[in-house]
Amino acid sequence: MATGLSSARFWPYQRAMTDLPVIRLKPQANARAIRHGAPWVFANEVVTDRRTRSIAPGALAVLEDADRTPLALVAANPTSKIIGRVLSRDPGETVDQAWFAARLSKALALRAQLYDAPFYRLVHAEADGLPGLVIDRFGDTAVVQPNAAWLEVRLKALTAALQQVTGVQHVLKNAGGRTRALEGLDDQSGVLAGQAPDAPLPVTMNGATYMADLTGGQKTGLFFDQRASHAFARRLVTPGAEVLDVFSHVGGFGLAMLAAGARTALCVDGSAPALALAEAGAEASGFGDRLSVRQGDAFDTLTVLAEAGAQFDVVVCDPPAFAPSKQALEAGLRAYERIARLAAPLVRDGGYLGLCSCSHAADLGAFRTACTRGIGRAGRQGALIHTGFAGPDHPLMPQLAESGYLKALFYRL
């Protein structure tokens, strides 16, 4: 049977790699998907016998098809729905510090070509060939999110390779990723090398200075993924414009639009520490007197602003994931529609409304439908002028829809 893989190629594997456990696909599983680049193997696709269930979480294993032909080297976790994460199409490959260094070097080469300063997402998990791994770089400091068991047991080699390739002195571990619990991992963050910064770090993007709290902030401290959409929002600002940034975190859209010449920006968020960082960023940027903040529930705040007759030239809403899973999709789409309905009345005629989603379960079409419906329910007409996605330091893996989670829609009302 033709498999596209030479049996001679795997003769060394058969002789030298018999110490690795084997995970075998069921006959009805789609082995072709793995051959074509699919990065995940689900538990219901494999033969889960006693030996499979006894594999230690994070151990390496050889993935075979139903005919016992080796397909890939995978990181195994029998306690997870994702029982195998493809690390290499070569089952005989060695995963050590040199292996990590080679993958990190490729990731770094892309970012060094794209950005003139070392502030970016260095590793975007499967799309960079490192399943479950997120690394954000802040100059001399890197924040690592090891969201899969195979990474947790190889942190020493990963950290050494990261310092070797990038030259960073400080490596922090962030254990706040929601998928860690699904992998059976703890939520204990810490320092892997060097030391944690004793104050938020300034990061310059799109003409503004953002303050990134790498130890106490959300996620890794700053959302690099919205950089391209921040840049587009700047283009919507005219001299004297008044802008509203809802779910602002540390002032992502608000600071970028102030740097572009907006007269005022109001940032709304439920987190007082995040808003304090937005104010600090505005001060560091030289326009602290033009930023105001309001802490509170976004839905309630939008309602209060509408009741007060407030109007803005640009309104952007960038909420957390309302639909983090398929089970939450229906409720999440209703929430996105509600946000659009509440925000649209606050936009002046001829102004702009930006609506964002980081829910991978809500695809672009469903999200766009919910937003457009919400604008219509508010009695407004909207022309969609721009669709944005995460920046190129967050590459999308075509075989994995989850890697293309971020969407941003900009309407002229």
Say how many domains are in the chain: 3
Series of mean pLDDT values for 10-residue runs along the chain (413 residues)? 42 55 95 94 94 95 96 96 96 96 98 97 97 97 97 98 98 92 94 97 97 88 95 97 97 98 98 97 97 98 98 97 92 97 98 96 96 98 97 94 90 98
pLDDT of residue 24: 97
Specify whether 216 is located in the same domain as 71: no
| Signed CA dihedral, 408, 108, 128, 190: sign only | negative
Specify whether 149 is located in the same domain as 280: no
Is residue 267 flagged as an active site residue? no
> Given 193, 210, 229, which residue is the final one in a domain?
193
- Looking at the domain assignment, is residue 284 inside a domain? yes
Contact present, 166 and 103 (Cβ < 8 Å): no
Specify whether 160 is located in the same domain as 64: no
- Looking at the domain assignment, is residue 291 inside a domain? yes
Domain range for 137 is 97-193
Specify whether 141 is located in the same domain as 47: no
pLDDT of residue 219: 78
Find the farthest-apart pair of alpha carbons in the chain and give their distance in angstroms, rounded.
76
Contact present, 299 and 246 (Cβ < 8 Å): no
Specify whether 79 is located in the same domain as 120: no
Per residue, what are the HEC states of the chain?
A: CCCCCCCHHHHHHHHHCCCCCEEEECCCCCHHHHHCCCCEEEHHHECCCHHHHCCCCCCEEEEECCCCCEEEEEEECCCCCEEEEEEECCCCCCCCHHHHHHHHHHHHHHHHHHCCCCEEEEEEHHHHCCCCEEEEEECCEEEEEECCHHHHCCHHHHHHHHHHHHCCCEEEECCCCCHHHHCCCCCCCEEEECCCCCCCEEEEECCEEEEECCCCCCCCCCCHHHHHHHHHHHHCCCCCCEEEEECCCCCHHHHHHHHCCCCEEEEEECCHHHHHHHHHHHHHHCCHHHEEEEECCHHHHHHHHHHCCCCEEEEEECCCCCCCCHHHHHHHHHHHHHHHHHHHHHEEEEEEEEEEECCCCCCHHHHHHHHHHHHHHCCCCCEEEEEECCCCCCCCCCCCHHHHCCEEEEEEC
- Looking at the domain assignment, is residue 251 inside a domain? yes
Query: What's the angle, vertex CA 55, arms to CA 1 and CA 93, rounded to 5?
Result: 55
80 CB neighbour count, 10 Å cutoff: 19
Gap between the Cα atoms of 192 and 173, Å rounded: 6
Q: Write the CA distances from 395 to 208, 322, 398, integer angstroms.
A: 24, 22, 9
Supply the pTM of this predicted model.
0.92
Specify whether 346 is located in the same domain as 209: yes
Look up residue 387 and give its two tokens. 């669709």
pLDDT of residue 18: 55
Specify whether 167 is located in the same domain as 212: no
Of the candidates 1, 2, 7, 183, the one whose C-alpha atom is nearest the C-alpha of residue 91 is 7
Contact present, 346 and 305 (Cβ < 8 Å): yes
- Looking at the domain assignment, is residue 2 inside a domain? no
- Looking at the domain assignment, is residue 379 inside a domain? yes
Identify the CATH number of the domain in which residue 41 sits: 2.30.130.10
Among residues 267, 317, 356, 358, the one annotated as catalytic is 358
Contact present, 225 and 390 (Cβ < 8 Å): yes
Contact present, 314 and 233 (Cβ < 8 Å): yes
- Looking at the domain assignment, is residue 3 inside a domain? no
Specify whether 399 is located in the same domain as 260: yes
Gap between the Cα atoms of 47 and 52, Å rounded: 8
- Looking at the domain assignment, is residue 261 inside a domain? yes
Specify whether 252 is located in the same domain as 337: yes
> Given 193, 216, 250, which residue is the final one in a domain?
193
Identify the CATH number of the domain in which residue 184 sits: 3.30.750.80
Identify the CATH number of the domain in which residue 407 sits: 3.40.50.150
190 CB neighbour count, 10 Å cutoff: 11
16 CB neighbour count, 10 Å cutoff: 10
10 Å CB burial of residue 405 (0-12, 13-18, 19+) is buried
pLDDT of residue 11: 41
Of the candidates 136, 190, 141, 132, the one whose C-alpha atom is nearest the C-alpha of residue 163 is 141
> Given 129, 164, 193, which residue is the final one in a domain?
193
- Looking at the domain assignment, is residue 72 inside a domain? yes
Specify whether 132 is located in the same domain as 66: no
Specify whether 158 is located in the same domain as 229: no
Specify whether 260 is located in the same domain as 398: yes
10 Å CB burial of residue 225 (0-12, 13-18, 19+) is buried
Look up residue 398 and give its two tokens. 């075509």
